[in-house]
Amino acid sequence: MKKKGNVFNRSSNRRAFFKNSAVVAGAATLGGGLLTDTVSAFAQDDGGFPVTRGDIAILRFLSALEQVEADLWIQYAELGGATDQGLSAIDLVESGRKISTGLAPNYVTALQVLDGDMPQYIVDNTDDEISHHAFLNNYVAFLGAKPVDLSAFAILPPSQVTGVPQNGRLTNLKQLTVDTSWWTRYRSAVQNPDLGGTFENAVPDLASHPHTAIPLNDGDLVLNPDGSIPNHLQAIASTAGFHFGFIEQGGTSLYPSLAQKVTNLQVLRVLLSIGPSETMHFQVWHDKAGNAPNISDGNLTFPNLNANADPNTGLTTVQQGNTQTPAPDLFQTNLIMPEPTIFLNSRFGPVSIIRPTHPNLAAQGAVQSFVDDGLFLQPNGQNSPIVAALMQLAEEADHARRGF
């Protein structure tokens, strides 16, 4: 795919594109007659490099991941999203269906302990992910490839809270094992995951046992006799708060990682334009998770992250490689800007960056992180068949190579 020339401008190049760039059978089928005369004018910024089958594979994988994210965020919005945002009406819609929000008012109240605007941010994040999936699918179809639709895998039961639509979902938010190492990864000045760095969890119990991030039923929403929020309900909301950060840090890294494999400049523009919105989400949730109160609920404790101690060891320092790092540097709740760290090679000195961004197996790593999170667990404890479908799309995206 090193042949240059605008694939949309000349019929010979167009035929070569379909001949040489047909995506692997079973994953996406490119069809003739789908590129119209409007395409060449629209795609003049392709830089002379064609859309490759690798570009298509990357776009289709990202569309699939965005559909997964839209599914989980819709569940959060249904239960904990804002119902009123003042003069600007809430218009949360997916495929023409209006999404009801804020169906669990006491869950909303518990989320607001982390920040009063949490319900609004949840609705906005949901709207963004729905738009990402819809746009990527429309763009894939515009390029002549088959859009992604994972709805056949919507088989997981949602919350039983009154009012929640009882249609099957792609994701399960009731048995999450949340990796919270993203918290310390962005605060480390001496470790980078792309260079083999390892990181402590901010909430060790979330990473060691499965917990629900949404109320399972109306029983989880009962308040204390004095009207206060019970620890159990607050723990559910705080689990959601840290899960939000986990989900959005994944997108923050995934887009720049896969952008390094893109050939066509317009496709690259798409990735470089959507990716930063995921980073904006992550920054918000990173900040809000730090407001989770220090409570315990069964085998889940949310530690005081401002206590000058590593919640994993109780020590005031953390061993990072050959360096002893003071615990506050890694856990203090208001240190949410990416700390400058090593990048490419330590000889260049520290720099504030998104991390990780190495493109090697980035797509498969994203799917595996969702699997490890418990997002696709069925009631029988087995993963949904969606995992195999996502991994196939991920393998094809990771196989992409820049064509010039």
Q: Is residue 90 part of a domain?
A: yes
How far is Cα 119 from Cα 305, in angstroms, rounded to an integer? 24
Question: How many separate helices (H) and strands (E) can be counted in the chain?
Answer: 12, 6
Q: Are 363 and 393 in contact (CB under 8 A)?
A: yes
Q: Is residue 403 part of a domain?
A: no
In a domain, 6, yes or no: no
Q: Which of 96, 93, 94, 119 is nearest to 106 (CA)?
A: 119
pLDDT of residue 403: 85
With residue 326 as reference, give the H or E element that holds it.
strand 323-326
**Would you state the structure tokens that stand for residue 199, as one six-digit string?**
């990181």
Whether 4 is covered by a domain: the verdict is: no
What does the longest C-alpha to C-alpha distance in the chain come to?
75
DSSP summary character for residue 336: -
At 256-280, the pLDDT tens digits run 999 999 999 999 999 999 999 999 9
**Least confident window among 18-27, 124-133, 330-339:** 18-27
Residue 65 pLDDT exceeds 60: yes
- Which pairing describes strands 323-326 and 317-320: parallel, antiparallel, or unpaired? antiparallel
Q: Which of 171, 329, 310 is nearest to 243 (CA)?
A: 171
In a domain, residue 310? The reply is yes
pLDDT of residue 404: 73
Quick one: pLDDT at residue 47?
61
SS3 for 399?
Answer: coil
Per-residue pLDDT reduced to its tens digit, 199-227: 999 999 999 999 999 999 999 999 999 99
Answer with the residue of higher pLDDT: 172 or 321.
172
Strands (E), 199-346: 296-297, 300-301, 317-320, 323-326
pLDDT of residue 1: 32
Q: Please state the domain count of the chain.
A: 1
Residue 18: predicted pLDDT: 33
Q: Do the domain assignments include residue 2?
A: no
Range of the domain at 335: 11-398
* Beta bridge pairs of residue 351: 341
Cα separation values, 36 from 32, 43, 263, Å: 10, 11, 21
Residue 350: is its pLDDT beyond 70?
yes
Residue with tokens 């760290």: 341
Give SS3 for 227: coil
Q: Which two tokens stand for residue 309?
A: 């101690």
pTM of the predicted model as reported, rounded to 2 decimal places: 0.89
pLDDT bracket for residue 90 (50, 70, 90): confident
- Band of residue 94 on the pLDDT scale cut at 50, 70, 90: confident
**Mapping DSSP to helix (H, G, I), strand (E, B) and coil, where does residue 298 land?**
coil
Interval 7-47: pLDDT, tens: 233 333 333 333 333 333 233 332 322 333 333 334 445 56
How much is the average pLDDT of 227-248? Answer: 98
The amino acid present at 318, given as its one-letter code, is V
Tokens of 322: 């050959």
Q: Report if residue 33 sits inside a domain.
A: yes
162-183 pLDDT, tens per residue?
999 999 999 999 999 999 999 9
* pLDDT score at 224: 98
**Per-residue pLDDT for 57 more than 90?**
yes
C-alpha 278/C-alpha 281 separation (Å) is 5
Q: Is residue 384 part of a domain?
A: yes
> Closest Cα partner for 100 from 84, 118, 116?
84
H/E stretch holding 41 = helix 37-42
